[in-house]
With several copies, the nearest count.
Chain A
Amino acid sequence: MGDTTASTPTMTAEVEMIPITVDFSGGLEMLFSNQRRHSLEIPATDKDGKPCNIASLIGYLCENTMKDPRRELFVLDDHIRPGILVLINDADWELEGEEAYEIQRGDNILFVSTLHGG
């Protein structure tokens, strides 16, 4: 997947890909093929040429990684749904700039569903 030259309609051959890991926890893994960790290569820039940030990663995950049709359990009005924490390299995304954080090579992004049972 690294240096693929077979371009898709929305992606030119020159788009740089960055390797990241995306983790799901607290039950969210059930929406993503029951897989806790996904090692992905994502385009470094979106279709407007802007660096990939958390907002565009969320769109990317919905389009490419999520097989479960229940999107509303992950996104709401194009934002992450309330009750899901986003962690950038194990730190709350509010410490890192939230949706605007520009994703770096090797980042780990964790989505955790908040639990309320007991």
Chain B
Amino acid sequence: QNGVRDSLAPEEFDRYSRQMIVPGMGKDSQLRLLNSHVLIIGAGGLGCPAAQYITGAGVGTIGIVDGDVVETSNLHRQVGHATSRVGMLKVESLITHLRALNPLPNYVAYPFPISPENAAEVIRGYDLVLDCTDNPATRYLISDICVLLCKPLVSAASVQKSGQLIVLNCPPAPQGLVDNKYAPCYRCCFRKPPPAGSMVSCGEAGIMGPVVGTMGVMQAGEAIKILASGLHLPGSEGGNLREPTLLIYTYELENTIGPFSFRALKMGGRKKNCFACGENSTLTLEGIKGGDPNYEQFCSLPSAKHTL
């Protein structure tokens, strides 16, 4: 919408000063944030805290996608909503809160679920995507679109007392370019979804607020450093792959923080035979929009049969 910003207003200097004086940040990084467009898919337990810190940091345009309305049972963990906004669309409720925190960013509401039909259109205008959704079909869809549109993706998930975080597709590389120096996509790391019945949503299995909250804040942290430092921009040799790492957080109710609370797991780079980004991939935006692949079928639908 508005052109590229190359200077800060006095109000922005004031608001972002404590972040701008951190070594490695500075005015250039702040301008990169102001000129960035970040899409947060999901305004729930991950999306609320992630959005608070994305907003606080001064990202210029913030899009939020969610088709649900606020329920009372969300409020123990979805801290960007409020009791008086129960029944309101989550995107409207969260943007109300974010605007009160920081009126300067440009907020864009997408009050519907992300779907194969709309995903490319919604994601296209953004520099980076946060996957804050709650089901595998959507997670594979978002990653596939991010591969095809060359967008970095910060993905987190949380159920009960566990959390996971991984930075994918960063820096992004065109589909089919395979070589270990390129970053993996969601499918490179999680080739097949669990069978139906072996997984449950937070609504069915429960979730501890601070677990999903920690993962959401950390998602914002990864997004901010990627944009502020340009980590999503290809390096001079085209690659610039960092160590792909899956961070897992285990919250034990019967123990205080300990040696195994966090573990950093080493993942591989882009896979030659990846269905989405690999060398023989036939995945296209047109195909996805037309129903190929069938994400619901690939993932089946979660059932509450088992509590795991």
Q: How far is the CA of A87 from the CA of B246 in the complex (A)?
A: 11
Q: Give the residues from 78 to 117 in chain A that come closer than 8 angstroms, CB to CB, to chain B.
A: 81-85, 87, 90-92, 94-95, 110, 112-117
- Please give, as numbers and ranges, the residues of chain B lying within 8 Å of A114 by CB-CB distance: 157, 164, 190, 193-194
Beta-carbon contact of A118 and B157 below 8 Å: yes
State in angstroms the CA–CA spacing of A88 and B256 once bound together. 22
Partner of B264, one of A28, A83, A85, A90: A90
Q: Which of A3-11, A30-38, A44-52, A56-64 interfaces with chain B?
A: A30-38
Q: Tally chain A residues at the interface, Cβ within 8 Å.
A: 32
- A73 pairs with B157, CB closer than 8 A: no
Q: Which residues of B contact A27 (CB under 8 A)?
A: 159-162, 308
Residues in A neighbouring B169, C-beta threshold 8 A: none
Chain B, residue nearest A31 (CB): B308
Q: Tell me, yes or no, whether B44 is within 8 Å of chain A by CB.
A: yes
Query: Which partner residue on chain A sits nearest B194 by CB separation?
Result: A83
Flag the segment in B84-92, B134-142, B225-233, B284-292 that touches A: B134-142
Judging by beta carbons under 8 Å apart, are A36 and B252 in contact? yes
Q: Are B162 and A26 in contact (CB under 8 A)?
A: yes
Min CB distance B9 to A, Å, is: 27
Tell me which of B23, B135, B164, B302 contacts A30 (CB under 8 A).
B23
What is the 8 Å Cβ interface bit string for chain B, positions 241-271, against chain A (1 contact, 0 not)? 0000010101010000001100111111001
Interface check A53, CB cutoff 8 A:
no
Verify if B47 is at the interface (C-beta below 8 Å from A): yes
Q: Which residue of A lies closest to B131 (CB)?
A: A118
Query: Provided the pairs A85-B265, A91-B265, A95-B268 are in contact, do residues A118 and B42 lie with their beta carbons within 8 angstroms?
Result: yes
Q: How far, in whole Å, are A26 and B159 apart by their CA atoms in the complex?
A: 8
Contact present for B202 and A113 (CB under 8 Å): no
Q: Are B159 and A117 in contact (CB under 8 A)?
A: yes
Instruction: Report yes or no: B201 in contact with A117, Cβ–Cβ below 8 A.
Output: yes
A117 close to B134 (CB less than 8 A) = yes
Which secondary structure dominates where chain B touches chain A? loop
Q: With CB as the reference atom, state the residue of chain A lying closest to B206.
A: A117
Q: Is B207 an interface residue (CB 8 A)?
A: yes
User: Smallest Cβ distance from A68 to chain B, in angstroms?
Assistant: 9
Residue of B nearest to A27 (CB): B308
| B162 and chain A: residue at smallest CB distance | A26
Collect the chain B residues with CB atoms within 8 Å of residue A87's CB: 265
User: Which residues of B have CB within 8 Å of A113?
Assistant: 162, 194, 308
Q: Assess whether A116 is in contact with B250, with CB atoms less than 8 Å apart.
A: no
Residues of B within 8 A of A37 (CB): 260
Given known pairs A92-B268, A110-B265, the reply for A118 and B198 (CB within 8 Å) is no
In contact, A36 and B134 (Cβ under 8 angstroms): no
Q: Looking at the assembled complex, report how far the CB atom of A116 sits from the nearest CB atom of chain B, in whole angstroms.
A: 5
CB distance from B266 to the nearest CB of A (A): 4
In contact, A118 and B202 (Cβ under 8 angstroms): yes
Cβ-neighbour of A25 out of B136, B139, B158, B162 (below 8 A)? B162
| Cα distance, A26 to B246, chains bound together (Å) | 12
A115 touches B263 (CB 8 A): no
List, in ascending order, chain A residues with CB within 8 A of B23's CB. 30
Binding site for A on B (CB under 8 A): 23, 42, 44-47, 131-136, 139, 156-164, 189-195, 198-202, 205, 207, 212, 246, 248, 250, 252, 259-260, 263-268, 271, 302, 306, 308
What residues make up the interface of A, taking CB atoms closer than 8 Å to B? 23, 25-28, 30-31, 36-37, 70, 72-73, 76, 81-85, 87, 90-92, 94-95, 110, 112-118
Name 19 A/B residue pairs within 8 A (Cβ), A-sorted: A28-B308, A72-B198, A73-B306, A81-B198, A82-B193, A83-B194, A85-B189, A91-B266, A92-B189, A92-B267, A112-B164, A113-B308, A115-B157, A115-B158, A116-B139, A117-B158, A117-B202, A118-B46, A118-B212
